[in-house]
Structure 1
Amino acid sequence: MTQRVELATVRDRLAVDGLVTDYAVAVDDGDWPAYRRLFAPEGRADYRSAGGITGDADAVAAWLAEALQAFPVRQHLIVNRRVRFGVWEQDTGDTAEVQADYVNPMASADGDGGPVAPDFVCGGRYAFALLRTVDGWRLSEVVVREKWRRLPERRTRDVID
C-alpha cells in the first residue's frame, strides 16, 4: 500500500468516525434537520428492535422527534466502532460498514428543566452502512439492534397512618 493510499484511508476513517459521532449528537440534541442531512438521498433507518419504525430518514426523524419528547435529556454513547471499507482491486472503495455498540441513558427534566437521574437506559449495537457521495460520506442505512433496557425502579412511599 502506498503512502498516498494509506493517507486516504486514514482520512476516510476519520470522516466515517465523525459521521457516526454527528449521528449521536443529532439524536441527543434533537436536531432533526441535521439528522436528515447525515443520510444519502435513499438512506433508511430501522429502529424496530427498539420498538420503533423503519423507513426513510424523513419518516424516521419525524418518529424520533415525537417518541423522544418524553426524554429531553439524552446522551447516548457509541463505542467499540469497527470500521470496514469496501474493497475493489485492493483500493479503498466508496462504501463502508460500521458496527458499534451503544449505551443510551435518557431522562425527563425536573420541574425547573434541569437534569435528573436517567429514567430509562438501553444498550445494543448499531449497524451503519455508509456511502461516499459528492457531498462526502453519508449514511445509506442505520439498523438499531437493541439488546437490553432498564426501566426506572418503581419507588413506593412509606405511608404513615
Structure 2
Amino acid sequence: MASRFPLLHTEPMTQRVILATVMDRLAIDAVITGYARAVDDADWAAYRGLFAPGGRADYRSAGGIEGPAGEVAAWLAETMRLFLVRQHLIVNRRVEIQDLGGYPGDRADVTADYINPMRTDRGGAPSTAPDFVSGGRYAFVLRRMDGRTDGDWRLTRAVVHEKWRRTDN
C-alpha cells in the first residue's frame, strides 16, 4: 500500500521515516524563519549561528557581497543601519530533502520567494511606511550537522536572487 504522505518520492515509508521527515521539515523551516528574523532584528550573532562552519552567503544580485557568513554578517550590520524598519517575508517555501533510498539524508535544498519592505532613515521623519521594497527568490542549502538526527540543520549557502525593487525617492 502506498504512503498517504508523499514527503519524499519513494516507496511506502514507515511511520518512523514519515515522522523524521516531518521533524526535519519543521527544523529546516525554523532555520529559514530564523534567518529572516535575524536580519530584521539586526541580530548578527544569531545570523552567524544559522550557518554551518564554512557557510557562505551571496547578496550580489541585490548589490551586495558574497563570502563567508561572518564577513557577510559584518557587511549586513553596516548596510542595514540605513534602514530603520525591515521586514523580510519569506514565503512559498519548497523544501527538498536528500533522498537516500526512502530515507531522509543530511542535505536539503530550499527555494523561497521573498518580499522585503524597508524604511530608510530620512533624518528623523516620523513615518514608518516603507520607501524601499524588493522581491525575489532565495536559494538555501542546508545540512544536518555531524550526521545527527535531532534536527540540527545549518545553512551552508544562502543566495539572494533579487528580481525587482521599488524605491520612493
Q: Above 0.5 in TM-score?
A: yes
Helix, strand or coil at the partner of 2:158: strand
Q: In structure 1, list runs of 5 or more residues that go unmatched.
A: 155-161
Partner of 1:64: 76
Deviations 1:120-141 (A, max 9, x none): 0000000000000048100000
Helix, strand or coil at the partner of 1:33: helix
Given that 1:109 and 1:115 are in contact with CA atoms closer than 8 Å, whether structure 2 keeps it comes out as no
Partner of 2:165: 149
Mapped to 2, the partners of 1:92 and 1:34 lie a distance apart of 27
Q: In structure 2, list runs of 5 or more residues that go unmatched.
A: 1-12
Alignment-mate amino acid for residue 80 of structure 1: N
Q: What is the TM-score normalised by the length of structure 2?
A: 0.86
Given that 2:108 and 2:142 are in contact with CA atoms closer than 8 Å, whether structure 1 keeps it comes out as yes
Given that 1:121 and 1:151 are in contact with CA atoms closer than 8 Å, whether structure 2 keeps it comes out as yes
Mapped to 2, the partners of 1:47 and 1:57 lie a distance apart of 11
Residue 140 (structure 2) aligned to one of 116, 128, 132: 128
In angstroms, what is the RMSD of aligned CA positions? 1.6
Q: Aligned pair in 2 of structure 1 residues 107, 2: CA closer, same or farther (>3 Å)? A: same
* Cα deviation, residue 89, structure 1: 2.0
Aligned-residue sequence identity (percent) comes to 63
Given that 2:114 and 2:136 are in contact with CA atoms closer than 8 Å, whether structure 1 keeps it comes out as yes
Q: Aligned pair in 2 of structure 1 residues 112, 97: CA closer, same or farther (>3 Å)? A: same
Alignment-mate amino acid for residue 139 of structure 1: L
Q: What is the TM-score normalised by the length of structure 1?
A: 0.90
Alignment-mate amino acid for residue 97 of structure 2: F
Q: Aligned pair in 2 of structure 1 residues 139, 118: CA closer, same or farther (>3 Å)? A: same
Deviations 1:31-52 (A, max 9, x none): 0000000000010000000000
Q: Aligned pair in 2 of structure 1 residues 115, 15: CA closer, same or farther (>3 Å)? A: farther
- Residue 137, structure 1, aligned to residue 149, structure 2: no
| Count of aligned pairs | 153
- Residue 73, structure 1, aligned to residue 85, structure 2: yes
